[in-house]
Structure 1
Amino acid sequence: MRVTTQRPTWEDFRSLLKSGLWTVRETWAMHASLVLGLGLVTVVRGLIPAGLALVLRRLINLAAETAGQPTNVMSLLLPWLLLALGLTVAEAVSGLFYRYLIQRLTDDVDLSINTKILDHAARLDVAFFEDPRFQDVIHRAQQNTAHHFSRFIADTLTFATQLAQTITLVGVLASIEPWAVVALIPFIFPQLRFQWRLSRSHYLEEHSRATKRRWSHYFVTLLTNQRSVSEVKVLGLAPLLVEKFRVFMMEFRDQNRTLYFRGLVG
């Protein structure tokens, strides 16, 4: 069983950055208002956990300071309790807005990207579709490219949210105990490097499967298409096709399990 383990290079980072910037430009050009709304929601979702942490810290400090003054406790705590409630509501509402906007963007991207693919395909010469060198490219284009496009955007926004949350929470921790942040630094960059290598392995594995994915789809088509199923049954090809499909799927499953385990143990 083969699992891709190449080390990330500077070219990988440049390629990722180039692809990411192109995706952002294309999305902004087509759906600027939705992207702007998602950006604002991402900022809000990134700041709320730090705000809650600061409010909780203040509540604890006030509770400790007023332990012997029961008459003043509620008047001092009430504004902070209301602020905590407001931040909690804001977190829930921002999540609802995020889901609404990402669903809107997914539908719009599905329309615009698939239309562009079809327009491009209509301009290609017939020889392109008959050339064996481009069969994997054609197969990838047929696998709901717009879905992968919108998923990349959603994953990027999720990463941005988590990054903002991490930075702000580290800032809160630094204000409370600076040495704790210093102790975390040696673990941050190795973890980022590991996650990058794991993500790259996932991508390279899936990219290298295009040919086998195409053959697997072909086997399924032969066994389920009304124009071919009669011939398959007459020639007794069903067991062979099922076995070949099963071999490919088991190979993919075993490779994925290895990558999943690596992600689990870190």
Structure 2
Amino acid sequence: MKIKSKFKKVFNLKMSFSLVWESAKKWTLLSTFLIVLQGLVPLVSLVVIKVIIDTITESVQSAAPMDSFQRIVILISLLGCTSLLNMFIQSMIHLTQEHQSLLVTDHVLDLLHSKSIEVDLEYYENPDYFDTLHRTQEEAIYRPTRMVHGLVRIIRSGISLAAMAGLVVALHWALIFVLLFAMLPGLFVRLKASQKIYAWQEKRTASQRKAQYYHWVMTSDDYAKEIRIFGLGPLFIRQYRKIRVKLRKEKMNLLQHRISQDFLTKIWSIFIVTALYALLANYTLQAQLTLGTFIMFYQVIQRSQHFFGDILNGLAALYDDALFTSYLFDFLKIGPRIKTQKNSLFFPVPIRSGFKFYNVSFRYPSAEKMALKQINLHIKPGQVVAFVGDNGSGKTTLVKLLCRLYDPVEGSITVDDIKLTHIEISELRRQFGVLFQDFARYHNTARENIWFGNSDGVERESKKIIDAANLTGAHHTIESLPDGYDTLLGKWFESGEELSIGEWQKIAFARCFLKDAPVVVLDEPTSALDAETEYKIFHQVQKMKAEKTIILISHRFSTVRMADIIYVLDSGKIIEQGSHRQLLKLNGKYCRLFKMQAEAYNAT
């Protein structure tokens, strides 16, 4: 099973080539041609050098040595041209490979981004997913291009070696096997070292992510205030150093072990090659070889050793890259579990009977406890529906199921008696305008922050963006910024303007309203708003009631009481339901929570 697994990883070579070919066909062909051409140049150089040395030797021994000077100058000029050609090819290879690498890296990142968007939300709550993503980002992105370049270099060295082999065999066929015997131990050392590094990388991914997390905490503006107030800087530095020191020691131990073994294999190689040089010197002293032939064979063996080394090291690097490229292909194999069934239906417009939950239960993939248990409810079109309850009671989870960010583990959800699983996912999600409690703050312009709510349906310069900002009170804030709607928000980039959390929430509200969806979901929508803004926004929500279905999640009963029907959740179950007046008469949990909040207001 272990051998089969390793074979599959090495088989990534074919997939890597497909990836590179798909990204940069022309540049791959040009790079391959130039490298193959470069592989033939050394043979020409060696032959020219041999002829030059033999011509000089013959001329020195002749009666008129200067008669050959013109021929020698031509040969030396030819050698210079060969060197110049080699330099030109090398420059062109560098240019083509750089262009190819940029294209492939961008393509791989496109695949990475597409897969990150495609996968289900549950993956973002799974540490194994983040381990896979981290390994992909750290190691796998540049490997496919390196594998292709490595294989092409192996081919180039193979062509050069094949050319040299003809000359080596002319001296003695056994020399090929002697050179191979000198280099093979180094290959085995490299392959073994690659396996150990790969295993260590896989084992220590979680630790590397933990160190990266501490780095992010210490350098991110999200934590800057608390780190200073609570004096957490020295503690996090110690935690970061502790992890990094352990990782560094382990990696250095692996490297030292590899270098020591590699050194021993090099001693072995040098011993074999030195013996060959002694044999050539003996043949030359016995006049079995000319001086030019001796120098040529000396360089042939030297270069053959170099090309052998290139090939064997290239094979080891190829194996190493193939192992690490498996991270990328493992990541790309991740598929969404939430899928649209065949023969999907359109979302009903307008909604007539509404949404219904039938015995819906749900548990998060990494959790043991049920988040929702046997939920039955009906959300009618044009209603304002509110969910209230303690933290963790399942309020936001209901909304996630409604938007099909998750699917129930039991039961079903329908809209106009059509199961949500029968409606195309993107079509379904287009019907919801959602303001989550942990809304996003995009470090883009103020205009784009709102436009992102309906980027497919509204032009970037549309007046609807300003209208949406007016509905939420964000317009006045944006107009006061240096460049108005074209002001960059946040502090990540130059000239960015930071907003208060309440101002960010107004913009998030505007983004939600711009979508103009038939169902609006507001999850703790006024948690950061002042009382006046809250009143104005909910006045707008009341006006939407005739056209839209409004779903509220809030701890503020001043907000909740406007709902047509209120569902009270406790530990994933609906324990009460009704209008504000009905629930007060019931004198249950809702009544108790309402009175507690009212008393707090009265006390002030």
2:20 matched to 1:20? no
The CA distance in 1 between the partners of 2:157 and 2:242, in whole Å, is: 38
Q: Is residue 208 from structure 1 mapped to residue 189 from structure 2 by the alignment?
A: no
- Give the distance between the partners of 1:117 and 1:54, measured in 2 at CA: 50
The counterpart of 2:105, out of the listed 101, 110, 119, is 110
Asked whether the equivalents of residues 136 and 211 of structure 1 are also in contact (C-alpha less than 8 Å), the reply is: yes
CA contact (8 A) 1:48 1:87 kept: yes
Alignment of 1:30-179 (within 5 A): 30-67=23-60, 68=62, 69-143=64-138, 145-176=140-171, 178=173
Cα distance change of structure 1 residues 243 and 20 upon mapping to structure 2, 3 Å threshold: same
Deviation for aligned residue 1:85: 1.4
Quickly say closer, same or farther: Cα 1:157–1:56, change in 2 above 3 A.
same
Point out the more displaced range, 211-220 or 57-66.
57-66
Shift of 1:223: 0.7
Post-superposition offset of 1:113: 1.4
Deviation at 1:98, TM superposition (A): 1.1
Deviations 1:68-119 (A, max 9, x none): 1414322432443232112101110111111101111122112211112212
Tell me, yes or no, if the aligned pair for 2:19 and 2:104 is still in contact at 8 Å.
Answer: no
SS of residue paired to 1:66:
helix
Quote the RMSD (CA, aligned, Å).
Answer: 2.6
Percent identity between the aligned chains?
15
Say if 1:176 and 1:252 are closer, same or farther in 2 by CA, change over 3 A: farther
- Per residue, is there more strand in 1 or in 2? 2
Going from structure 1 to structure 2, the CA distance change for 1:250 and 1:174 (only over 3 Å counts) comes to: farther
- Which runs of 5 or more residues in structure 1 are unaligned? 1-8
Q: 1:152 to 1:251 in 2, by over 3 A?
A: farther
Rate the CA distance shift 1:133–1:17 in 2: closer, same or farther, 3 A: closer
Q: Higher mean Cα deviation, 160-169 or 201-210?
A: 160-169
1:245, 1:252 → 2: CA distance? Answer: 11
Counterpart residue identity of residue 23, structure 1: S
2: CA distance between counterparts of 1:170 and 1:186?
15
- Aligned partners of 2:46 and 2:6: how far apart in 1? 34
Q: Which has the higher contact order (CA 8 A, sep 6+)?
A: 1
Partner Cα distance (1:129, 1:138) in 2: 10
Q: CA contact under 8 A between 2:34 and 2:89: conserved in structure 1?
A: yes
Instruction: Please tell me the residue identity of whatever aligns with 1:62.
Output: T
TM-score (norm 2): 0.39
Offset, 1:170: 4.3
For residues 11 and 72 of structure 1, the distance between their equivalents in structure 2, rounded to whole angstroms, comes to: 68
2:396 corresponding residue in structure 1: none
Q: Counterpart amino acid of 1:87?
A: T
Distance 2:130 2:80 in 1: 56
The code of the aligned residue for 1:240 comes to L
Instruction: Give the structure with higher Rg (CA).
Output: 2
2:221 is paired with a residue whose SS is coil
The 1-side partners of 2:47 and 2:12 are apart by: 37
Q: Distance in 2 between matches of 1:187 and 1:243?
A: 48
Report what 1:5 is aligned to.
Answer: none
Partner of 2:367: none
Give the superposition deviation at 1:144.
7.5
Q: Which moved more, 1:179-188 or 1:227-236?
A: 179-188
Query: If each structure's helix is expressed as a fraction of its own residues, which one has the higher value?
Result: 1
Q: CA deviation at 1:145?
A: 4.5
Q: Relative to structure 1, is the Cα distance of residues 133 and 171 closer, same or farther in structure 2, using a 3 angstrom cutoff?
A: same
Separation in 2, partners of 1:129, 1:144: 20
- Aligned residues of 2:20 and 2:144 also touching (Cα < 8 A): no
Q: Does 1:189 align with 2:184?
A: yes
2:143 partner amino acid: H
Local SS of the residue matching 1:246: helix
Contact 2:17–2:144 under 8 Å retained in 1: no
- Describe the shift of the 1:171–1:200 C-alpha distance in structure 2 as closer, same or farther (beyond 3 A): farther
Q: Check 1:170–1:121 CA distance in 2 against 1; reply closer, same or farther (3 A cut).
A: same
Distance 2:113 2:223 in 1: 27
Aligned equivalents of 2:212, 2:134: Cα separation in 1? 10
In the TM superposition, what whole-angstrom CA distance separates every residue of 1:105-159 from its partner, at most 9, and x where no partner exists?
A: 1221122111122122222110122122322012234437533333333344444
Structure 2 unaligned spans of 5+? 266-604
Question: Equivalents in 1 of 2:39, 2:202: separation in Å?
Answer: 32
- 1:222 Cα deviation from its structure 2 partner: 0.9
